[in-house]
A and B are shown apart, each in its own frame.
Chain A
Amino acid sequence: MSKRRGTGLATVNYPTGMNLGGDPTQALIHSTTTGNFVVTLSSTDLGQGLKTAMAQIAADAMGVPVDNIIVDTGDTDTGPHCMGTFASRGTHRAGNAVIDAADEARDVLMEVAAEELEAAPSDLEPDGDGNIHVLGAPDRSISVMDAAMAAHFEQGRTISGRGIGFKPKSDVDPETGEMDPDSTEAHATVVTEVEVDTETGEVDVLTVKAVYEIGQMVNPALVDGQIIGGAWMGMAHALYETTDPYYPDIDHKPGSFGEYSLPGPSEVPDIEYEVLEIPSQTGPYGVKGIGEMSATPPIPAIVNAIKDAIGVQITEIPVTPEVVLRALEDEKESSEEPPVAENRDGGDEP
């Protein structure tokens, strides 16, 4: 048999956000006449689902149904500043900005409702279904829509708020490297099982079993997407991808999906995972983030599993079939050598 199986383990941290130059994202929120709330941002949705996640955070921060949240993003004429979607910062920074903005708007909403209900704002609470109640008096309530109408046309008030998620600039000490480069850390443990064909050098990733701790999840289905997509991308980085396989002959750089090696749908391993939610100290509702992280731990877990399978540590990626075969060959040569190298002193050869 030329197929050997092995199991690999990797345990990692992943930082959220950055420190350089200060790291802000802003949000504005305002009520329409009918009690819908427009969240205005200039943040970017790369596909991770930021538009959806921000609607969810805004809904809970305002205490209204998610369907009453309109997310308007992607225009610098209307949207307040955002540093951008990178460094796993989107949900963390924009989420904090949305909560900050919603807090201000919610205070106004409660003041408006209080006037309509002839109660103190501190005695009011939204029920999340579109109504505001007087605590302890279930029959005294007003709908968010009616409160918004009253604000616009009777009380002459704007229900709006401004918010920012901000990490101040943290300079790096050039001598010691002392710095505060992130806002929180997510963590993961990944275990993979691989099968290595020692005749062809091919590696088949059989299973990926993972536990991610990412703070509060905003949308579990979107988190699932990051974990599964990340497992695939990590496997691709570990075993397939490189833009310069033939340096120094750079004319062989890949220029198409045909030439750039990626795993396809049938190479996807069985992926099993669990998400732990231990709230962060700085994120919106305890969010940490998972955008970048999920593509990392599968890489060392796969490479460590290959070592477990063939008994040779491979220290470069991608682990192409050629790399596996050369590693096996080197191992074979070194194990066939006499136990003492010829250039050493002493005459203790067997």
Chain B
Amino acid sequence: MKELRSVGTSVRRRDGDGHVTGQTEFVDDRSFPDLKHLHVVRSPVPHAEIEAVDTSQAEAVSGFVTALTHEDVPNNIYTILRLIDIGPNEEPLLAEERVRYQGEPIAAIVADTKRAAMEAASKVEVDLTELPAVFDVEEALEPDAPTLKEWGTNYFEYEGHECRRVRYGDVEKGFKEADHIIEERYQTSPIEQAPTETTAAIAKPESNGRFTVYTNTQALYFSLDNTAMIVDVPFSKLQFVGGTVGGGFGGKVDVIVEPLATLAAKKTGYPVQYKFTREEEMQVSSPRGAWRMYYKDGVTDDGEIVARQVTSYADAGAYNRHTPYAVTKHAANVGGPYDIPNAKFDCYCVYTTKQPSSAMRGFGVTPASFAVEGQMDKIADELGLDRWEVRFKNAYQNGDVTPHRKEVEDATLIETMQSAAEMVGRDLPPEYATMSSFKEQDNEGDSRV
């Protein structure tokens, strides 16, 4: 390995001076002559048929430039993961016959100022016939629940299965061998990424027929590719500029603002800015989804987990966004950093009439860790065992195989526990104090560094 001179040192941030002088350029710090502003007309109810949309009152507002409805969207499919063949296409950019969550975009207004766009948007008349809503993942799977998807169910289908499955060993045999069965239900809340800079893009038509899109997306090419497909322009006609983001936390992985801004720029010939208001960022941008998880662990008298069964439900809200993949990632993590010899996991991606959830720091893993660690304490407490020792006893080591059949490498859980025990002044029994994640090696942990 090359000598490390800079790596490992706390060199100053390259953007530090820009940040402390306020000169770092964020999306809406750019100004353009004739910049127009876009504001979206949203569904006031969670589930309804759209009977009619009337923009005539909006057109009378001073500063009004144009209105966009689904008829203006060349390829009205906002299914971001279709880039990597995860379908089906199930979300429109602007709603067509139906809305499935409160806040779903129905039309967009472009105007000279944000204020005018908002005023005009408030004057768009949308005639809706309300349909029953469903807000709970398990209720959504009941036979009498309102069906949200064209394919007739309220769950994402994983290669012919109604959930992402993990099967390893023989979980029923494990439960029979166990001395105790420890069960619990866990529930997390949806939370907002709440970056201090709201999601924003400016699309500017260029004289050569291209569009420059300034954006705070977390993923420039991902946003470019999706935008090109929705707006139906060749990929070569788009240039995306960004890389400086006022907080993301997963919230800016969605491609919400770029397609509409680009479409509006294409239609009007003006540069158009679409920046979420704080209220939109809070209420209609994709939050971290809520998860409900049922854990059942088979445990021996001395605290060894011999079987784990998990049924979990991710609340995707009304549309997929990134949740089908979050569920897969979740399925690979509901076992936690422990050696589980028999496992059966059924992880559902469920649709409800809530704002679509998507990526956030900890994507599918955070809820799993919350539940797993609740289980570890519950096992210790119900069996009268030490909470540290139950974790040491079950900790995975390099060379173990996870329930999703991956050989563990880079495991260091044991080492963090040992250091933490020292930090909080807790004496460990010798068998745990000398344990290592590296089974084959001696316990001189540093020798491998």
**Complex: A in contact with B (CB within 8 Å):** yes
- By a beta-carbon cutoff of 8 Å, the part of chain A in contact with chain B is 7-15, 18, 20-22, 42-47, 49, 51-52, 55-57, 59-61, 63, 65-66, 71, 73-77, 79, 81-87, 128, 172-182, 184-191, 209-213, 215-222, 233, 236-237, 241-244, 247-248, 250, 253-257, 259-260, 262, 272, 274, 276-282, 285, 288, 291-293, 295-297, 299-301, 303-304, 307, 313, 315-318
Q: Does B111 reach chain A (CB closer than 8 Å)? A: no
CB contacts under 8 Å to A, within B1-27, are: 1-15
Q: Does B34 reach chain A (CB closer than 8 Å)? A: no
Residues in A whose Cβ lies below 8 Å from that of B192: 241, 243, 254, 260
Q: Which of B1, B337, B363, B376 has a CB less than 8 Å from the CB of A87?
A: B363
Residues in A whose Cβ lies below 8 Å from that of B50: none
The smallest beta-carbon distance between A77 and chain B, in angstroms, is 5
CB<8 Å pairs between A and B, sample of 28: A13-B413, A44-B245, A46-B252, A56-B9, A60-B4, A61-B2, A76-B221, A76-B224, A86-B253, A177-B403, A179-B332, A181-B329, A186-B412, A187-B411, A187-B416, A189-B419, A241-B191, A244-B190, A247-B354, A256-B278, A256-B282, A260-B194, A292-B361, A295-B362, A296-B365, A300-B370, A315-B184, A317-B189
> Which A residue sits closest to B388, measured CB to CB?
A9
B449 touches A279 (CB 8 A): yes
Residues in A whose Cβ lies below 8 Å from that of B89: none
A184 touches B410 (CB 8 A): yes
The smallest beta-carbon distance between B97 and chain A, in angstroms, is 22
CB contacts under 8 Å to A, within B399-449, are: 403-406, 408-413, 415-417, 419-420, 423-424, 445, 448-449
The 3 closest A-B pairs by CB, nearest first: A74-B243, A84-B219, A21-B84
A304 touches B242 (CB 8 A): no
A176 touches B405 (CB 8 A): yes
A187 touches B1 (CB 8 A): no
> Which B residue sits closest to A77, measured CB to CB?
B239
Cα A84 to Cα B84 in complex, Å, equals 14
Residues in B whose Cβ lies below 8 Å from that of A55: 6, 11, 14
Mark contacts of B179-199 with chain A using CB atoms, 8 A cut-off: 1 yes-contact digit, 0 otherwise.
000001111111110100000
> Which B residue sits closest to A129, measured CB to CB?
B5
Q: Does B107 reach chain A (CB closer than 8 Å)? A: no
Residues in B whose Cβ lies below 8 Å from that of A177: 164-168, 331-332, 345, 403-405
A315 touches B11 (CB 8 A): no
A60 touches B165 (CB 8 A): no
**Can you add 5 more A-B contacts, CB < 8 Å, to A11-B416, A86-B363, A297-B373?**
A12-B372, A18-B329, A52-B15, A190-B420, A300-B374
Q: Does B143 reach chain A (CB closer than 8 Å)? A: no
Q: Does B383 reach chain A (CB closer than 8 Å)? A: no
Known: A76-B220, A272-B423, A276-B415. A285 touches B1 (CB 8 A): yes
Q: Does B248 reach chain A (CB closer than 8 Å)? A: yes
> Which B residue sits closest to A14, measured CB to CB?
B365
Residues in B whose Cβ lies below 8 Å from that of A303: 370, 373-374
Known: A11-B416, A244-B189, A296-B362. A84 touches B220 (CB 8 A): yes
Q: Does B159 reach chain A (CB closer than 8 Å)? A: yes
Cα A300 to Cα B387 in complex, Å, equals 13
Residues in A whose Cβ lies below 8 Å from that of B135: 244, 247-248, 250
Residues in A whose Cβ lies below 8 Å from that of B423: 191, 209, 211, 272, 274
Mark contacts of B264-284 with chain A using CB atoms, 8 A cut-off: 1 yes-contact digit, 0 otherwise.
000000000000001100110
Total count of chain B residues near the partner, CB < 8 A: 120
CB contacts under 8 Å to A, within B177-230, are: 184-192, 194, 217-222, 224
Cα A210 to Cα B250 in complex, Å, equals 24
B13 touches A179 (CB 8 A): no
A82 touches B404 (CB 8 A): no
Cα A341 to Cα B189 in complex, Å, equals 33
Q: Does B308 reach chain A (CB closer than 8 Å)? A: no
Q: Does B391 reach chain A (CB closer than 8 Å)? A: yes
Known: A84-B218, A233-B361, A255-B282. A181 touches B14 (CB 8 A): no
Known: A15-B332, A15-B333. A297 touches B222 (CB 8 A): no
Known: A76-B240, A176-B165, A260-B192. A44 touches B413 (CB 8 A): no
The smallest beta-carbon distance between B43 and chain A, in angstroms, is 11
Q: Which of B4, B279, B388 has a CB less than 8 Å from the CB of A255?
A: B279
Residues in B whose Cβ lies below 8 Å from that of A255: 278-279, 282-283
Q: Does B66 reach chain A (CB closer than 8 Å)? A: no
The smallest beta-carbon distance between B95 and chain A, in angstroms, is 17
> Which A residue sits closest to B353, measured CB to CB?
A250
Q: Does B53 reach chain A (CB closer than 8 Å)? A: no
B244 touches A74 (CB 8 A): yes
The smallest beta-carbon distance between A82 and chain B, in angstroms, is 7
A74 touches B188 (CB 8 A): no
Known: A47-B246, A181-B329. A253 touches B449 (CB 8 A): no
Residues in B whose Cβ lies below 8 Å from that of A65: 6
Q: Which of A11, A83, A304, A316 has a CB less than 8 Å from the CB of B413?
A: A11
Residues in B whose Cβ lies below 8 Å from that of A173: 405
> Which A residue sits closest to B240, measured CB to CB?
A76
Known: A43-B243, A177-B164, A243-B287. A250 touches B102 (CB 8 A): yes
Cα A49 to Cα B408 in complex, Å, equals 29
A211 touches B420 (CB 8 A): yes
